[in-house]
Structure 1
Amino acid sequence: MAEALGTRTVSGGSTNGSVGPAIPWQDRPAGSKALVWRHRENPVIPRAPMPGVQGIYNSAVTPFGDGFAAVFRLEKTDRFPRLHVGWSEDALDWQIEPEPVVFSNWTDAPSHYAYDPRVTAIDGEYIVQWCGGHNGPTISLARTKDFRTFERLENAFLPFNRNGVLFPRKINGNYYMLSRPSDNGHTPFGDIYLSESPNLVHWGRHRFVMGKGGDQVGQWWQRTKIGAGPVPIETPEGWVMIYHGVIDTCNGFVYSMGVAILDLDEPWRVLYRTNQHVLTPEAPYEVSGHVPNVVFPVAALHDQPTGRLAIYYGAADTCTALAYTNLNELIEFTKANSAVF
């Protein structure tokens, strides 16, 4: 089982965290030199955690009160993605609400899907970002303070867009959000952009951050598309952005995990970027499922005193898994094995 840490200073993305609950943790396996290693009891949430559910994955976890809250992508037997709230004392054993999120100011049509949420704690509230079907697919937003009442905001961008990830504090007085503009198909666009807003409603100054590819620097694992994952983590070295990179093989897509470090004041500027993946589908629950060969990082919990980092990821678009690393080691690896393009 996970090693108990007691109450620590933890955060869901920023080093400006407060005293909160202990994050999950297991030490690196004996004899292993892995930079990122898997939770021994993975998946932490199986594909069918309650009756009528066929998948729960690509979901957001954040410290909340004396424990943790989550917004899950959950699919029942209709395979239609919806957002469901979850609660946990240890971020491992979850109580999941059987009914989807309802917005106090908005009635979603039956055709309005919602998937791949992120949650950012900022300015005393929690902002949920997801790919929404209202005039979508594009980045939808909502705010909450208690994970029981949600106020829907207007969509951030025009269709088509995915992987919206909000930074955990304002930069130069504005909100900043990463995204991946796309089309209505599966992939044709695949680059990460950055947008800013004074109020979470009006977004502009869209800047290119980094692109898919890698052929010119001798790597293929991210050549088809990339997308931001967990809320960026603020460090003295810069914003640590964990992301997914995809290769299109003769047997389909393969999603792996990578890392980039962005400038603190100009986060569209990439300082370092891993020239290799740090986790790729190898475990049975990653290579086999509704969509084989997927490691899709979405949330990260950081214990500041120890540097421990717990990364939640969707496995094979089926279940929720967990991996561990040390943030300082992750930064040093990224700096030593970098190719910015």
Structure 2
Amino acid sequence: MNPVDANSSDSQIARGATADRGGVVPDAFPWQERPAGDKAVVWRHSGNPIIPRNPLPDVHGIYNSAVVRFGDGYAGVFRTEGPSRFPLLHAGWSEDGLEWQIEARPIEFSNYRPDPSHYAYDPRVVRIEDWFYVSWCGGDNGPTISLARTKDFRAFERLPNAFLPFNRNGVLFPRRINDKFVMLSRPSDDGHTPFGDIYVSESPDMVHWGMHRLVMRRGGDQVGQWWQRTKIGAGPIPIETPDGWLMIYHGVIDTCNGFVYSMGAAILAIDDPSKVLYRTNRHLLTPEAPYETTGHVPNVVFPCAALHEPTSGKLAVYYGAADTCTCVAYCNVSELVEFTKANSTVF
């Protein structure tokens, strides 16, 4: 494997950023205050999309991607599609979480024999102890949850797939729970799944997975809501709060014009995340902006990552819009927790 240097000539810079990032303060946090008069608990970045659909030559979409705090800035793993529309993963770098430098070449994995048929999409990234773990929906005997780990976002070591086919939306918790690694996922099929519930599984070593338990089901018809009736799936890495694990997720409704993906939230018990304490009975963000309603797959808000600033409680949620570009929305963790508790229906 020949890792690509983030500063090499093969790197391209998204959204017109330059190599001289003058004026950017190290440890900057991506944030905009709530617009005056806006009462929404979650609000959009005014400059969305932060990464447009064509950030690199021969890339026609970059979305449903994951970012994490790394060093004095941020690193991430991004889903891209080129003229073949075959999904691949690329590493990326940012000083402020908004302007991103994306590697031109896809990620290569050590101890792994490449196969041109093995697609990779919808990654998540989390730091657990001394490693950054990457999970994604992989085509190595998939679709199912593929895993890798890295310490520098240049060298990536593949781990065994977590589950049998078919599965999507593998989301690891940021620490061990009862001395076990824990992952959320959504058992699926091999197509554009028209169903899906969220499960949780655990592992002693990030290799052997078991203790699969239901967390929560799709639905809502019986309690007067439709926005998540078709399928649901975990989004960013859960955030630990005094009230429980804050899990942002996507909920899907099937309409006469196709699926519509929206953002919701739930709070899971700290010591047993299979127990749902609260669950939003209305969406937090739904496709309304032009970049969410128009694109390769219209009407999609798909959250995959969140950056949390613990001191202030600020939260920047990264989401894919219309399966085309990458966007950010903001909220405050304590406000989101209180909103979830006040607008909850658990079913």
The amino acid of 2:327's aligned partner reads: A
Q: Distance in 1 between matches of 2:78 and 2:64?
A: 7
Match of 1:339, SS state, is coil
Task: State the match for 2:205 in structure 1.
Answer: 199
> 1:317 Cα deviation (Å)?
0.1
Matched, 1:183 2:193: no
Structure 1 Cα separation of the partners of residues 95 and 298 of structure 2: 31
* Structure 2: gaps (5+ residues): 1-22
Aligned mate of 2:228, from 214, 222, 226? 222
Deviations 1:123-170 (A, max 9, x none): 111000000000000000000000000000000000000000000000
C-alpha displacement at 1:207, in angstroms?
0.2
Aligned to 2:39: 33
Residue of structure 2 equivalent to 1:87: 93
Q: Are 1:152 and 2:158 an aligned pair?
A: yes
Q: Cα offset for 1:6?
A: 6.1
Q: How far apart in 1 are the matches of 2:89 and 2:39? A: 37
Task: Structure 1: state its 5+ residue gaps.
Answer: 8-20
Note the alpha carbon deviations across 1:272-296, whole angstroms, 9 max, x for none.
Answer: 0000000000000000000000000
Tell whether 2:281 aligns with 1:275.
yes
Partner SS, residue 59 of structure 1 = strand
Structure 2 distance, partners of 1:307, 1:261, is: 16
Deviation at 1:185, TM superposition (A): 2.2
The one-letter code of the counterpart of 1:167 is F
Amino acid at match of 1:209: V
1:138 & 1:298 partners in 2: Cα distance? 17
SS of residue paired to 1:335: helix
Asked if 1 retains the 8 angstrom alpha-carbon contact of 2:63 and 2:319, the reply is yes
Determine the structure 2 residue equivalent to 1:15: none
Give CA deviations for 1:208-228 in whole Å, capped at 9, x if unaligned.
000000011100000000000
Asked whether the 8 Å contact 2:24–2:96 carries over to 1, the reply is: no
Of 304, 308, 315, the match for 2:314: 308
* Residue number in structure 1 paired with 2:122: 116
**Matched residue SS, 1:78:** coil
Deviation of 1:5 (Å): 11
**TM-score, normalised via structure 1 length:** 0.94
Q: Distance in 1 between matches of 2:195 and 2:172?
A: 20
Measured in 2, the distance between the counterparts of 1:235 and 1:166 equals 16
Which of 128, 141, 151 in structure 1 is aligned with 2:147? 141
Q: 1:99 aligns with which of 105, 108, 112?
A: 105
Aligned to 1:129: 135
Q: Is the 8 A contact 2:24 2:95 kept in 1?
A: no
What TM-score, normalized to structure 2? 0.92
Q: Percent identity?
A: 73
In structure 1, C-alpha distance between the alignment counterparts of 2:25 and 2:168, rounded to whole Å: 36
Give 1:37 deviation, angstroms.
Answer: 0.5
Q: Quote how far apart the aligned CAs of 1:174 are.
A: 0.2
Amino acid paired to 1:131: C
Matched residue count: 325
Point out 4+ residue stretches in structure 1 off by more than 3 angstroms. 4-7
Q: What is the CA–CA distance in structure 2 between the aligned matches of 1:31 and 1:308, rounded to whole Å?
A: 19
Deviations 1:98-129 (A, max 9, x none): 00000011022000000000001001110000
Residue 5 of structure 2: aligned partner: none
